[in-house]
């Protein structure tokens, strides 16, 4: 299984968002233990660093270094940008992420914002839905 993990799930863990922390932590752990190949994009990494550095620049850098060990960081090309511009995705950035995931063989997207991926050809699940699907929900 190869999944694109949306930045909202990753940021749940990095920012300690209590309401979502348990399920999102389980997703990251599954990627870290290689039970699933977790992917993100170079664009998402840059955006997460931008968000994290507002809290603590040194911690932001360490967090990104850790993410690079856990996730396969996929490149963004002009091809995906063009596909997003021509797509029915309401949010350009979500479209870019989706087409990168498609073009790199991801089977699904794990996100808390299902509605953002309504135009996706990939299976789209929340962390909870994925955990229930594999029988790992607490």
The residue ranges of every structural domain in the chain are: 2-133
Q: How far, in Å, CA of 68 to CA of 66, rounded?
A: 5
H-only helix segments in 33-76? 42-53, 57-70
Looking at domain 2-133, which of 3.40.50.700, 3.20.20.140, 3.40.50.1010, 3.40.1260.10 is its CATH number?
A: 3.40.50.1010
Residue of 6, 49, 13 lying closest to 29 (CA atoms) = 13
Element containing residue 73 per DSSP (H, E): strand 72-74
Spatial contact of 136 and 30, defined as CB atoms under 8 Å apart: yes
Q: What pLDDT, in 10s, does the model give residues 9-43?
A: 999 999 999 999 999 999 999 999 999 999 999 99
Q: What is the pLDDT of residue 137?
A: 63
Sign of CA dihedral 77, 72, 126, 61: negative
The model carries a pTM of 0.93
Spatial contact of 76 and 44, defined as CB atoms under 8 Å apart: no
Exposure of 45 in the CB half-sphere (CA atoms within 13 A): 20
From first to last of its 138 residues, what are the pLDDT tens digits of the chain?
A: 999 999 999 999 999 999 999 999 999 999 999 999 999 999 999 999 999 999 888 899 999 999 999 999 999 999 999 999 999 999 999 999 999 999 999 999 999 999 999 999 999 999 999 999 998 765
Q: What is the pLDDT of residue 138?
A: 59
Q: What is the pLDDT of residue 74?
A: 98
Q: What is the pLDDT of residue 57?
A: 86
Q: How far, in Å, CA of 106 to CA of 3, rounded?
A: 5
């Amino acid at each position: 299984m190869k999944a694109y993990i949306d930045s909202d799930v990753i940021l749940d863990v990095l920012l300690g968002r209590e309401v979502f922390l348990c399920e999102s932590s389980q997703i990251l752990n599954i990627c870290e233990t290689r039970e699933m190949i977790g992917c993100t994009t170079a664009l998402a990494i840059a955006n997460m660093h931008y968000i994290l550095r507002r809290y603590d620049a040194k911690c932001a850098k360490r967090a990104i270094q850790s993410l690079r060990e856990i996730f396969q960081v996929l490149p963004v090309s002009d091809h995906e940008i063009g596909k997003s511009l021509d797509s029915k995705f309401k949010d350009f950035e979500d479209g870019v992420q989706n087409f990168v995931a498609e073009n790199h063989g991801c089977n699904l997207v794990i996100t808390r914002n299902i509605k953002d991926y309504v135009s996706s050809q990939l299976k789209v699940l929340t962390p909870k839905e994925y955990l229930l699907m594999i029988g790992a929900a607490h």
